[in-house]
């Protein structure tokens, strides 16, 4: 692309797209404009972007390593030396929070990459095939939905042993059912479409129809759902960390940091407070972004 930006914008807003790529680029451009038009969504997007950048550049952003101990300066309040103070082992809280962003992002990405495709496949298959398959798949989904998420995750972690990866697995096991429900609802509508009938007449197999034609159309709703669920996933992950069932020490997991700071709450309030604020901000970012995405991608579901 050698043309200046002004013509690129023209290309993006041309009334008659010349290629499929241009049409798709225009669609993304319009969605991005609509998203940015809502200040709250913009804030949410910026928070999530900040999380990404913080996780990416954690070593550059901090002077101290997350587990560096400075025992002479333990339990120190905020100062120019330690921006947010130090914890009981003299570790710099700011560094730990910044590095903790990597753990949070890791949890969120792994859960999204496992739960979303699983829920999508189960829901789309159930919705498209209908009949006995649908009944069985959706009953299983309902059973998982009937369990309270945190308690179920707790029981799984109890069985698998405490640790970051069992926490992630436990969260993923509780995160797919709402996605399956959404995907099924979409697939129920899509399977009535003429183009599906046409593809079927051309001799496409069920698997091909589901994964090449039904699933792609379910994706926008699933993205909205998973973004909205991210906030809850972060809170559950932090909750498991707080209970001592997530990432194990000395990993700078935010929930575990709050839990540790509990012992020093009365005199060194900053140890528990700052990591909690980090959880709060990131979770709010995903909530705001999810709300905005829903308004743009899925106007039917929009809350006015």
Partner 1 sequence: MAQAEWHQKSGDDPAAARAHRWTLKALSTAGTIALTFFGLLLVTFLIARVVPIDPVLAVVGDRATEEVYEQARQDMGLDRPVPVQFAIYVRDVLQGDLGTSTLTARPVAEDIARVFPATLELATIGTLIGVLLGVPLGVWAAARQGSAVDQLIRFVGLVGYSVPIFWLGLVGLLLFYVQLDWVSGPGRVDIFYDGVVPPVTGALLLDSLIAGNTEVFWNAVSHIILPATLLGYFSLAYISRMTRSFMLTELSRDYITTARVKGLSERQVIWGHAFANIRVPLITVIALSYAGLLEGSVLTETVFVWPGLGSYITNALFAADMNAVLGGTLVVGMVFVGLNLLSDVLYQYLDPRARQ
Give the residue from 293, 285, 291, 127 showing the smallest Cα distance to 220: 293
Residues 213 to 252: which contact partner 1 by CB under 8 A? 231, 235, 238-239, 242-245
169 or 217, CB closer to partner 1?
169
Residues 271 to 290: which contact partner 1 by CB under 8 A? 272-273, 276, 279-280, 283-284, 287-288
Q: Is 132 near partner 1 (CB under 8 A)?
A: no
Among residues 66, 246, 255, 292, the one that binds partner 1 under rule CB under 8 A: 255
* Closest distance to partner 1 from the beta carbon of 279 (Å): 5
Q: Is 155 near partner 1 (CB under 8 A)?
A: yes
Q: Is 152 near partner 1 (CB under 8 A)?
A: yes
CA atoms within 13 A on the CB side of 229: 24
Q: Sign of dihedral through CA atoms 222, 224, 225, 230?
A: positive
Q: Is 163 near partner 1 (CB under 8 A)?
A: no
Among residues 4, 192, 266, 299, the one that binds partner 1 under rule CB under 8 A: 266
Give the residue from 30, 38, 57, 104 showing the smallest Cα distance to 289: 38
Q: Is 63 near partner 1 (CB under 8 A)?
A: no
190 or 278, CB closer to partner 1?
278
* Closest distance to partner 1 from the beta carbon of 261 (Å): 8
CB atoms < 10 A from the CB of 198, how many?
11
196 or 231, CB closer to partner 1?
231
Q: Is 166 near partner 1 (CB under 8 A)?
A: no
Total residues interacting with partner 1, rule: CB under 8 A:
47
Among residues 92, 156, 209, 294, the one that binds partner 1 under rule CB under 8 A: 156
Q: Is 264 near partner 1 (CB under 8 A)?
A: no
Q: Is 84 near partner 1 (CB under 8 A)?
A: no
3-state secondary structure the chain: CCCCHHHHHHHHHCCCCCCHHHHHHHHHHHHHHHHHHCHHHHHHHHHHHHHHHHHHCHHHHCCCCCCCCCHHHCCCCCCCCCCCCECCCCCEHHHHHHHHHHHHHHHHHHHHHHHHHHHHHHHHHHHHHCHHHHHHHHHHHHHHHHCCHHHHHHHHHHHHCCCHHHHHHHHHHHHHHHHHHHHHHHHHHHCCCHHHHHHHHCCCCHHHHHHHHHHHHHHHHHHHHHHHHHHHHHHHHHHHHHCCCCCCCCCCCHHHHHHHHHHHCCCCCHHHHHHHHHHHHHHHHHHHHHHHHHHHHCHHHCCC
* Closest distance to partner 1 from the beta carbon of 221 (Å): 18
* Closest distance to partner 1 from the beta carbon of 214 (Å): 26
Q: Is 181 near partner 1 (CB under 8 A)?
A: no
Q: Residues near 76 by Cβ (< 8 Å), separated by ≥ 6?
A: 82, 85, 86, 90
Q: Is 20 near partner 1 (CB under 8 A)?
A: no
65 or 243, CB closer to partner 1?
243
* Closest distance to partner 1 from the beta carbon of 30 (Å): 24
163 or 250, CB closer to partner 1?
163
List interacting residues with partner 1 (CB under 8 A).
139-140, 142-144, 146-152, 154-161, 231, 235, 238-239, 242-245, 255, 258-259, 261-262, 265-266, 269, 272-273, 276, 279-280, 283-284, 287-288, 303-304
């Amino acid at each position: 692309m050698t043309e200046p930006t002004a013509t690129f914008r023209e290309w993006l807003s041309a009334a008659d797209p010349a290629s499929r790529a241009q049409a798709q680029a225009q669609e993304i451009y319009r969605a991005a404009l609509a998203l940015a038009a809502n200040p709250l969504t913009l804030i949410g997007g910026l928070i999530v972007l900040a999380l990404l950048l913080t996780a990416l550049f954690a070593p550059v952003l901090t002077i101290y390593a997350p587990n560096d101990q400075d025992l002479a300066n333990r339990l120190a309040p905020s100062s120019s030396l330690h921006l947010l103070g130090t914890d009981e082992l003299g570790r710099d809280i700011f560094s730990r929070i910044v590095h903790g962003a990597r753990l949070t992002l890791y949890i969120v990405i792994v859960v999204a990459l496992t739960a979303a495709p699983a829920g999508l496949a189960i829901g789309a298959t159930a919705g498209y095939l209908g009949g006995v398959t649908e009944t069985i798949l959706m009953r299983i989904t309902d059973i998982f939905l009937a369990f309270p998420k945190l308690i179920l995750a707790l029981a799984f972690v109890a069985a698998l042993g405490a640790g970051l990866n069992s926490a992630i697995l436990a969260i993923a096991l509780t995160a797919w059912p709402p996605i399956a429900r959404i995907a099924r609802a979409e697939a129920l509508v899509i399977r009535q479409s003429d183009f599906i009938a046409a593809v079927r007449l051309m001799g496409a197999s069920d698997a091909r129809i589901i994964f090449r034609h039904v699933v792609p159309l379910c994706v926008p709703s699933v993205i909205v759902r998973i973004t909205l669920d991210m906030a809850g996933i972060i809170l559950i992950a932090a909750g498991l960390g707080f209970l001592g069932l997530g990432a194990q020490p000395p990993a700078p997991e935010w929930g575990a940091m709050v839990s540790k700071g509990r012992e020093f709450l009365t005199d060194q309030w900053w140890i528990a407070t700052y990591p909690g604020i980090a959880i709060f901000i990131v979770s709010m970012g995903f909530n705001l972004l999810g709300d905005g995405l829903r308004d743009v991608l899925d106007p039917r579901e929009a809350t006015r």
